[in-house]
Amino acid sequence: MLKNLLKLLFPDICYGCGSLLIKNERVICTACRHTLPRTYHHQSPEQNEIHKKFYGLLPLEFSCSFLYFTHKNNVKELIHNLKYRNKTAIGKELGMIYSSDIRKVIEKYHVDCIVPVPLHPKRLKERGYNQIETFAKTIAETCKVDYNPTILYRKTYSKTQTKKNKESRQMDKRNVFAVQYNKENEGKHYLLIDDVLTTGATLESCGNALLEIPNTKISILTIAYTLS
């Protein structure tokens, strides 16, 4: 009875459009699921716009983003709710949806371990969680790949990147990350996962840090890719 009363007072809503969820819907409504702007990068993991973005910057095995991010689609609201409103269920749900697409790519390229982009401890304390972890962990679990959230760490704390231009973001991200070295981490293929790819500076810095481990291969995957 109490559960029904709480449902009445605080009904479940879609985190993409704000509409009330009906029976058997969870986190994201059916309409939003059908209109998610997918990139289909998994169909050409070495020949897509974000893979080409890193030419000459990182020796990537493959690169994929799940969705396109613009200021006019439902992805913006999903990412905002995930990143700033502690709606971590969004990450898990998107991970479950995308796993069916990305599983074959992960198997084909023999990914050994999934690594989420870390937050600085101060940022983690402020926010209370790392917004990408539920997505990354869900991909790892459903695709049966090791998950290591501690191999990378962020050395410096920086203010939010929202209002910074492309050049200043790239400058800020140089040599920001480092690895917790362990000989057992050598000779592996790491899949770096982040929420949104805009300039690519964060992933470039993470990738360069991982490449300090001998005989390492790296690939990248993000929930969304920002269309300029």
Same domain, 170 and 71: yes
- Positive or negative torsion for Cα 112, 116, 120, 122: negative
Same domain, 24 and 51: no
- How many domains, in total, are found in the chain? 2
Same domain, 104 and 175: yes
Q: What is the pLDDT of residue 51?
A: 98
Q: Following CA atoms 23, 24, 27, 32 in sequence, which dihedral angle do they give, to the nearest 10 degrees?
A: -90
Residue 64 has pLDDT above 60, yes or no: yes
Model confidence at 227, in pLDDT bands (50, 70, 90)?
A: confident
Residue 159 has pLDDT above 60, yes or no: yes
pLDDT tens across 108-120, in order? 999 999 999 999 9
Domain that holds residue 188: 37-226
Work out the mean pLDDT of the chain and round it to a whole number: 91
As a whole number, mean pLDDT of residues 164-169 equals 50
pTM of the predicted protein model: 0.90
Same domain, 130 and 21: no
Same domain, 75 and 9: no
Same domain, 17 and 87: no
As a whole number, mean pLDDT of residues 174-194 equals 93
